[in-house]
Amino acid sequence: MNKNCHVIAVANQKGGVGKTTTTINLAQALSLHGHKVLMIDLDPQANATQGVGVDLETIKVSVGDLIRDKHARIEHAQFEGADFSLIPSTPMLSRVEREMVGITNSEMRLAQRVEGLREKFDFILLDTPPTFGPLMNTALNAADSVLIPVDAGFFALMGIKELLTEIEEIKSGTNPNLRVLGYFMTLTDNTRMTQETWDGLISAFGNEVLKTKIRRTVKLREAPALGRTIFHHDPNGAGAEDYLALTKEVIELASNAVINESHLKLVSGDLQGVNHV
């Protein structure tokens, strides 16, 4: 088992904040750093899946099958299109989500699958839907940490409290080790709105806010329509530069998280755990 595998959910129930853009480009940038990366698309809109150029018609096994059927073969659901692997989504996932309601432990099924994948990957990134519900809970149960994109705008900070309440609920129940990896700003420009959102974020979350801001650029908007990451579409532009900077911060935070966990184990006297780190 790869003790250093880090599972990150990119989450914010607000739509259009850059979750999918971040998941795709973070996955690619981590791969460029030599990490083995798996991206799991947990949004029925399948934007991440299509954004890396996968044609929905060609998908045989999707994340919905893995949640619904414990015998579905996971390796069939992986694509090697970009430099990372993908477990794709299809619109059928919304039906799976409706079926999950009321079925005990259905929100833990993906977490169980992910446990078996840790040995193969250094990072597993989960793109999440813009709603609270069984799929969001599925992501929060499978994840070690949550990376929270915040768009520059008037309503940006309003929903975060709700998201933190969800995270706390999962933490106090089924996934006690879940933590917030950090907050970062997306879709920034030179307006006062960007500055005010930044100030609000810093005053609310202080040093949990990553230094990197993802600037608003047309190239980032164009890339998914072409089925490309920003590193293929515009490798020398602002989008690639910002996502590389974000990736460096994420790698550092994730490795600190592993160190912190080993420290906790040391404190609690579990020396065996430390030897593996």
- Interface contacts to ligand ADP, rule CB under 6 A: 15-21, 47, 130, 186-187, 214, 216-217, 220-221, 224
6: contact with Mg ion by CB under 5 A = no
Binding track over 23-52 against Mg ion, x by CB under 5 A = ------------------------x-----
User: Closest CB to Mg ion among 135 and 257?
Assistant: 135
- Which listed option, Mg ion, ligand ADP, none, makes contact with residue 116 (CB within 5 to 8 Å by class)? none
User: Closest CB to ligand ADP among 106 and 186?
Assistant: 186
Smallest distance from the beta carbon of 47 to ligand ADP, in angstroms? 5
Of the residues 6, 7, 8, 20, which one makes contact with Mg ion according to CB under 5 A: 20
User: Closest CB to Mg ion among 11 and 167?
Assistant: 11
Contact, 64 vs 89, CB < 8 A? Answer: yes
**Strand, coil or helix: 183:** strand
Class of residue 157 by CB neighbours under 10 A (exposed 0-12, middle 13-18, buried 19+): middle
Smallest distance from the beta carbon of 19 to Mg ion, in angstroms? 5
- Residue 6 CA to residue 24 CA, distance in Å, equals 16
User: Closest CB to Mg ion among 182 and 224?
Assistant: 224
Of the residues 13, 17, 18, 19, which one makes contact with Mg ion according to CB under 5 A: 19
Binding track over 46-85 against Mg ion, x by CB under 5 A = -x--------------------------------------
User: Closest CB to ligand ADP among 167 and 223?
Assistant: 223
Identify the helix (H) or strand (E) that includes residue 49: helix 47-51
Please list, in sequence order, all residues whose beta carbon lies within 8 angstroms of the beta carbon of residue 75, skipping any fewer than 6 positions away: none
Collect contacts of 101-110 with beta carbons under 8 A, ≥24 apart.
Answer: 101/134, 106/67, 106/134, 107/134, 107/137, 107/138, 107/141, 107/174, 108/138, 108/141, 108/174, 109/66, 109/67, 109/70, 109/138, 110/40, 110/42, 110/63, 110/66, 110/67, 110/138, 110/139, 110/141, 110/142
User: Closest CB to ligand ADP among 64 and 224?
Assistant: 224
With tokens 């129930």, the residue in question is 13
Smallest distance from the beta carbon of 222 to ligand ADP, in angstroms? 8
- Residue 248 CA to residue 253 CA, distance in Å, equals 9
Which residue type sits at 31?
S
Task: By CB under 5 A, name the binding residues for Mg ion.
Answer: 19-20, 47
